[in-house]
Amino acid sequence: MTNRRYTAGASRRRYRKEVNRASWLIGICAVIFIVGLLVPGNCTGAQPVAGTDIGPLSAARLEKVVTNPSLDQKIIEYTGMTVSFNPRLHIPNWVAYELTAAETYGEEPRARNFMADPDVDGCATPADYRNTGFDRGHMAPAADMKWDPEAMRESFYMTNIVPQDNGLNRGSWSKLEEKCRQRARRDSAVIIISGPVLTDDIEMYIGDTGVAVPSRFFKVILSPYTTPPTAIGFIMPNGNVRGGMQTCAVSVDEVEAVTGHDFFSALPDDMENEVESQKNFNRWSRMN
C-alpha cells in the first residue's frame, strides 16, 4: 500500500493500541496487587494475561489473511481495522482487527453518517443501499471502534459495509458481535475477521454502483493470549438465523474451506492446527 494516509493510519493504530493495552495491563496489575494485600497468600484467581504460548507474535501478524487468490483485492490499513476491499464487487473480501478489553469500554459516540472512501476506486456509496431493503451491514462494528474518534468515523466508510438482511444484521449477527466483546473482556484481547462468503454465486446486485449481495457471511475469532489459545468460526445465512448463532458455529478450518482464505497462518503449525479445528460453541460462549 503506497497511500500515505493509510500508512499513517496503521502507525496511529499501533501506537494507540499499545497505549490502550498498557493502560489495561497497569489497571489489572494494580487490582491484583491490592487483592494480594487484602487476601495474603490467596492468588489462585489471578491468572497472568500473557502470550507465552505464542511467543512474540504481534496482533498485526495474527490479523494477516491470505486471501482467496481468485478474488480481486486492495488492502487498506485504517486506524482500527485492515480491509481487503474488492473493487469489482464493491464490498470487502474481509475485515480484520484486534479488539482489546480496554477498547470495549470506549466512550466515543456512534458516527451518524455512512461515507464513500474518496481514495478507494470502486467504493460503493450510501445511496446504493437506498430503498433496497438491505441494511448497511458493518463488518467491523461501530461498537468495537468506540476507543478512538477516527476509528469510529472510518468504520462508517462503505469499504467496511456489505448488504445485510435486517433479520441478520439486527439479530444473530449483532448478538455474535456482542459475544465477541464479552470474550475480549474475558480473554484480554481477540482477533476478529469477518466478511461475506464470495465463493457462492452472486445472484443480486444493488444500486447504481452494482454492489454485490452475498448469500452468506463468516466470522472467525481467535483468543491468542489465553492458555491455551482458542478459536471458533461462524457461517451465517444472509437472513433470519433459525436456532440462533450457536447453530452456525463451525471450526476455522471449515470457514477456510468455504471461503478459500487462510487465517492465523502466523501461529506455529501445531497450534494453528489445534485452534482451527475447534468448534465447541458452549465452551466458547461461557464467560467463566
Per-residue DSSP letters for the chain? ---HHHHHHHHHHHHHHHHHHHHHHHHHHHHHHHHHHHSTT--TT------TTTTT--HHHHH-EE--TTS--EEEE-SS-EEEEETTTTEEEEEEEEEETGGGG--PPPP---B--TTSTT---GGGGTTSSEEEEESS-GGGGTT-HHHHHHTTBGGGEEEEEHHHHTTHHHHHHHHHHHHHHHHSEEEEEEEE--SSPP--EETTTTEE--SEEEEEEEETTSSS-EEEEEEEESS--TT-GGGGEE-HHHHHHHH--EE-TTS-HHHHHHHTT---HHHHH---
Model pLDDT for residues 138-148, shown as the tens digit of each residue: 999 999 999 99
Answer yes or no: are the C-beta atoms of 264 and 272 closer than 8 Å. yes
Kindly state the cell numbers that stand for 210.
Answer: 452494482
Kindly state the cell numbers that stand for 136.
Answer: 448497511
pLDDT of residue 7: 46
- The pLDDT of 239-249, averaged and rounded, is 96
pLDDT of residue 264: 97
Is a pLDDT exceeding 90 seen at residue 84? yes
- The pLDDT of 34-38, averaged and rounded, is 38
Lowest pLDDT segment from 27-31, 111-115, 185-189: 27-31
- 18: pLDDT confidence band, cut at 50, 70 and 90? low
Residue 139 neighbours by CB under 8 Å, 6+ apart: 83, 92, 94, 95, 160, 161, 162, 194, 195
Lowest pLDDT segment from 12-16, 108-112, 127-131: 12-16
Is a pLDDT exceeding 60 seen at residue 255? yes
Size of the chain, expressed as the number of residues it contains: 288
pLDDT of residue 287: 77
Q: Is 138 assigned a catalytic role?
A: yes
Its pTM stands at 0.85
Lowest pLDDT segment from 42-46, 116-120, 124-128, 164-168: 42-46
- The pLDDT of 156-175, averaged and rounded, is 98
pLDDT of residue 20: 53
Is a pLDDT exceeding 80 seen at residue 103? yes
Q: Considering the chain, what is the average pLDDT of its residues?
A: 86
Share of the chain above pLDDT 90, in %: 78
Lowest pLDDT segment from 6-10, 91-95, 111-115, 137-141: 6-10
**Catalytic residue (one of 13, 17, 138, 261):** 138
